[in-house]
Amino acid sequence: MKKITFLFLLTILLTTNSAIANGVAIKNASTSEYFKLLSSDVQVTVYDQIAIVVTTQKFLNNTGEKTKIKYGFPLAEGANGINLRWELYGQWNSASISPSPQDTTLPGGGGGNETLKEFLGETPLFFPLEDSIANDSILTIELTYVQLLPYDFYVVDFKYPNDYSLIQSEILNFQSINFNLESQRIITNLEMTSHNADNTVFNDSIGEFNYTEYESAATTDYAAYYELSPDDLGLFSYSTYITDTTFNCDDFGNGFFTFIVEPDPSSEVIEKVFTLIIDRSGSMSGNKIVQARDAATYIVDNLNEGDYFNIVDFASNVTSLFEDHVAFDLASQNTAFDYIDGINANGSTNISGAFATAIPDFASNDTTLANIIIFLTDGEATAGITDTEGILDYIQELITTNEVNNLQIHTFGIGDYTNEVLLSQIASQNNGLSEFLGENELEDVITSFYRKIRNPVLINTSMEVTPPLLSEIYPNPLDNLYLGQQLVVVGRYDSAAPITVNFSGEAFGQPISYDYDVNLADTTIPNNQFLTKLWAKKKMDNLFILYHNFDENSNEAEEIKNEIIDISICYNVMSPFTSYTGGGGGGGTTFIEYDEMDTETIDQKSYASPNPFTKNATFSFYVNSQIQQQATISIFDSFGRIIFIAKEQINGIGEYSIHWNGNDVNGNPVPKGYYFYTIQFGNTSLTGKVIKI
């Protein structure tokens, strides 16, 4: 996908590819020169459907000369980078976030390198290393990201395209993945479907599998899924309160929460009135119109008994399948199939005319029904009303004049020439989602989206809290609730206390209300530190919608852009307006880490033992001077949050050790995964990494 704007949460509406692939170290894209990938290690920790992934790749400069590279990583839509480090010549460096969009140009040009572009996808993450890398040197790059995994009727999918064959055919020293799952719902199944896992274990709310392969080419994607019990539904909450006194990103309070809400499977499904508007202008010719026809066929084949539907198609002129919405039955379905087969691309783009035909069909509809329009186009208006403000005003006039209630308009832009401001505002003004797709994604995304909204059980959803302690709640407005889908809500609080959360809305014209009791955390919960990143991402998504409501050169757009940049930098979460920086030349934050046995060439070192560890670890370090002071060890999780601090008295030259019992600052055992440490004394700072298994 090129770009996506959220009004509703990604996991509720889409099952687009949730995967991240191995990165590539690009020397020259035009000549397809890359560093050789030696190994790939993927560490995955999932809380319900929220995944934190640490992916580490080692590259060899086998190009025959000292050279610079740009790191490219095919980041999937909906995933956000939250940390990037690299190791070169035994020295670890951490990237920082810069208040400027990333440079997407490829080294050596390479605009025509279709293989590389296919590998990197539509939303790659780029990171230029400014230091030249000597021939035969090894470069290690470690990226951490957070992502909401796609959920559909109790099944959660995880994918990681480990297939590296587009970049190289040579074997890797090893490739491995370690997957750990913690769920508040009972896990009924966990399976790695792509490979024969070394071991797979799941028991109630805990599951894990791992896989390691040596001396082989990376030709197969990783794929797995897990199933959750359909009996454990309702509201599941996560919260944490940042007690760190240095936290001062904003004034919204130090508490962060996420609610995951799913309706009971026995809930009665609300019947819907549905219109699909299809652009059939000349620019839709070829594969795009074929995909549009296939998506329309899928939708018509999956309507529910009791639904009403219609299809409107437009170019210079506008036509429709029926004069008005008709009841879905076998006869109307077959008529629709024949009509869809006859849709061909030719002519101009009359967007206002399409809505002039579609919206009056919803006039004075039964308020117990869900009114839905899916609108798809690949271009700007060239017939009828053509200016953005005029089209928006006209749509609202049509809704008011025809007394249309509870209308959702979801817009999908195809390719590079859509009016993103127009489509974003149509959706945001009418309780919908706006999404922008690549030219070959239409069928998959539309059919996936329809599966999500097929069965609404609560419309016009709102949330109230007693006492009113919550703020900065997203998405805003809340999505409807759909059968087999989840509503994920994030927000902030300042005071921790037991609260009652009320979700209310309408079903069949009658008010419906659900109450849930929640205890907000009043202290830092290390396992829940991902909530800060999740909230920042959703806050930026909401601001990005507002940004598209203004001309990008306006003062309003500039203010919103600056706010997004501030959030991105302070919370260390990537945004469309920021990029990773510090790729050499003294930039970034530098840490020194030495191999455990390299005692002949250095006079300072540190190491953890055992590593990996299961319950506790000991950190040893060497002092080569007669200093008399305390050394401080700080242990961080993958989000950079301190989870343990200890001190050891130094009395001159010698080796010293600090023991860690594997617990966090609150005395709770830390979960499996990667942890980072720094040992500081005098002017020395030693760092390393330890893994709990």
Where do the domains of the chain lie? Answer: 24-228, 236-267+457-579, 272-454, 597-692
Spatial CA neighbour of 78 closest among 158, 22, 14? 14
Question: Mean pLDDT in the chain?
Answer: 84
Give the DSSP per-residue string, 552-596: TTSHHHHHHHHHHHHHHHHHT---TT-EEE--STT-SEEEE---T
Q: Hey, how many other C-beta atoms are within 10 angstroms of the C-beta on 379?
A: 20
Identify the pLDDT of residue 478.
86
Phi, psi (deg, nearest 5) at residue 636: -120, 150
Identify the pLDDT of residue 630.
84
User: Residue 137 pLDDT > 70, yes or no?
Assistant: yes
Identify the pLDDT of residue 29.
93
597-692 matches 24-228 in CATH topology? yes
Phi, psi (deg, nearest 5) at residue 115: -65, -45
As a whole number of angstroms, the distance between CA 173 and CA 161 comes to 18
User: Residue 526 pLDDT > 80, yes or no?
Assistant: no
Q: Residue written as tokens 């909204």?
A: 453
Identify the pLDDT of residue 15.
30
As a whole number of angstroms, the distance between CA 111 and CA 126 comes to 15
Hey, what are 474's tokens? 């997203």
Whether the Cβ atoms of residue 210 and residue 174 lie closer than 8 Å to each other = no
User: Residue 602 pLDDT > 50, yes or no?
Assistant: no
State the fold for domain 24-228. Answer: Immunoglobulin-like (2.60.40)
Q: What is the pLDDT of residues 208-245, one digit of tens each?
A: 999 999 999 999 889 999 999 888 777 889 999 988 76
Q: What is the CATH number of domain 597-692?
A: 2.60.40.4070
Q: Residue written as tokens 């700072």?
A: 685
Identify the pLDDT of residue 633.
86
β-strand pairing of 36-47 with 172-182: parallel
User: Residue 486 pLDDT > 80, yes or no?
Assistant: yes
Whether the Cβ atoms of residue 645 and residue 677 lie closer than 8 Å to each other = no
Identify the pLDDT of residue 367.
65
As a whole number of angstroms, the distance between CA 499 and CA 96 comes to 38
Tell me how many degrees the CA angle 402-403-404 measures, rounded to the nearest 5. 95
Whether the Cβ atoms of residue 135 and residue 63 lie closer than 8 Å to each other = yes
The CATH class, in words, for 272-454 is alpha beta
Q: What is the pLDDT of residues 160-202, one digit of tens each?
A: 878 899 999 999 999 999 999 999 889 999 999 999 999 899 9
- Span 333-348, mean pLDDT? 95
Q: CA 479 from chain center: how many Å?
A: 18
Find the Cα–Cα–Cα–Cα dihedral 59, 62, 64, 68, rounded to 10°.
-20
Identify the pLDDT of residue 379.
83
Q: In b/e form, how buried is each residue of 6-30, taking b as 16+ CB within 10 angstroms?
A: bbbbbbbbbbbbbbbbbbbbbbbbe
Q: CA 146 from chain center: how many Å?
A: 7
Q: Is the pTM of this model over 0.85?
A: no
